[in-house]
Amino acid sequence: MVERCVFLVVAAGRGSRAGAGGPKQYRDLGGRQVLTRTLEALLTAAPSSQAKVVIHADDRDLYDAAVAPLKPDLRARLLEPTIGGATRQESVCNGLDALAPLCDDDDDVLIHDAARPFASPALIDRALHAAREKGAAIPGLAVTDTIKQVAEDSRIVATPERASLRAVQTPQAFRFGLIHKAHLSARAAGASELTDDAAVAEWAGHCVFIFPGDTENGKLTTMEDFLHAELKLLENLPDIRTGMGFDVHALGEGDHVWLGGVKIPHNQGLIGHSDADVLLHAITDAVLGAIADGDIGAHFPPTDEKWRGASSDQFLAHAVALVAAKGGRVAHIDATLICERPKVGPHRDAIRARIAEIMGLPLDRVAVKATTSEKLGFTGRQEGIAAQAIATVRLP
């Protein structure tokens, strides 16, 4: 049997209003997927709980990638995911069906939106207490704005009294038997337009109660929501650190160079043990420097044949993962290439986009500049390319 409570996390939607980049529950948020953050918040807040995620039939690989970064003790409390339906209501019912062999009617189930990654321990505690005391309860916030009811032609037809209104959230908390039977009854009756689980319970004749929600527990729906969430994460990381990186690679025979993860045609190539991406190497060292964790050579020794010809994007991704493992994130990158040729300008946008992709950063947090040494020194003689970078990292 499931001990204490189980979270049923609904992650089967497609989330198109958040813009391009796939379903919002799998979008990057501060270097980690939204679903990763949601599961971590729930399972950490209730140490003896388990969680089942309802996913879209096409999303198993995305789900596996989202749960991989969780600590082993948290991953061990994940039940096998269940495939959802065409609507949220169908998805929840499928999830409850899958939990039925594991749960008693008196067990607690907390049904939560995957796109709410900021559920606090206090909110989870209130939900658990409400489920045990009331059998059916949901978090809600008092409405502070005046609400208008409008007709299809935008004409105002009513102004509800806001004192009795609540904006509701998840997790919605129930005794398992109550909400499962309510969903089964609604499915059998063809009542398929119920917008949340409280509405399903109400339709089945149950009283549903409100307990205090949390203003920080917002749902990520639009691109603006993601931008605000990014700022919130940064505000919670007060320890600001700076790292510097510098790298040089000689030019030799070849027909291209790798700069910032982008293959650029050239009449020479950069010489190195890996792909010799001088820009990614400098950025990697800058990130490692910000957390005082050695340098690229310590993590990926040039004496190790494993890294011969390796793509440098994995070096940078490793450095970013080390920051994330400390509970932090990279906030900004400022890098400069020093060379006479190739000309960087035509490739700058592609380089910035690739670095942002590797690091899980918004594009406006990656700066790439280029300069020459006025034909002085080895870069002026086109014997090599140099790069320097500054990384800003925020930690708890």
Residue 248, annotated as binding a ligand: yes
Pinpoint the alpha helices (H) of the chain. Answer: 34-45, 60-67, 72-75, 88-99, 121-134, 176-189, 197-203, 223-235, 278-290, 296-299, 313-325, 348-359, 377-380
Q: Which residues pair with 4 in a beta bridge?
A: none
- Within a 10 A sphere around the Cβ of 389, how many other Cβ atoms? 27
Residue 53, annotated as binding a ligand: no
Residue 67, annotated as binding a ligand: no
Whole-angstrom Cα distance, residue 184 to residue 198? 14
**Three-state secondary-structure class, residue 106:** coil
The answer to whether 358 touches 391, Cβ cutoff 8 Å, is no
Q: Is the previous residue joined to 171 through a cis bond, with omega within 30 degrees of 0?
A: yes
Residue 180, annotated as binding a ligand: no
Residue 16, annotated as binding a ligand: no
Whole-angstrom Cα distance, residue 368 to residue 286? 14
Residue 371, annotated as binding a ligand: yes
Residue 378, annotated as binding a ligand: yes
Whole-angstrom Cα distance, residue 84 to residue 59? 11
Residue 274, annotated as binding a ligand: yes
Whole-angstrom Cα distance, residue 197 to residue 19? 27
Residue 381, annotated as binding a ligand: yes
The answer to whether 245 touches 336, Cβ cutoff 8 Å, is no
Whole-angstrom Cα distance, residue 14 to residue 61? 15
Whole-angstrom Cα distance, residue 389 to residue 336? 6
Q: Which residues pair with 29 in a beta bridge?
A: 32
Enter the tokens of residue 155. 């004409």
| Cβ density class 183-201: b for 16+ within 10 Å, e for less | bbebbeeebeebebbbbbb
Whole-angstrom Cα distance, residue 194 to residue 215? 24
Residue 312, annotated as binding a ligand: no
Whole-angstrom Cα distance, residue 88 to residue 54? 10
The answer to whether 291 touches 394, Cβ cutoff 8 Å, is no
- Within a 10 A sphere around the Cβ of 376, how many other Cβ atoms? 9
Residue 49, annotated as binding a ligand: no
Residue 347, annotated as binding a ligand: no
Residue 297, annotated as binding a ligand: yes
Binding-site residue ranges for a divalent metal cation: 247, 249, 281
Binding-site residue ranges: 247-249, 273-274, 281, 295-297, 371-374, 378, 381
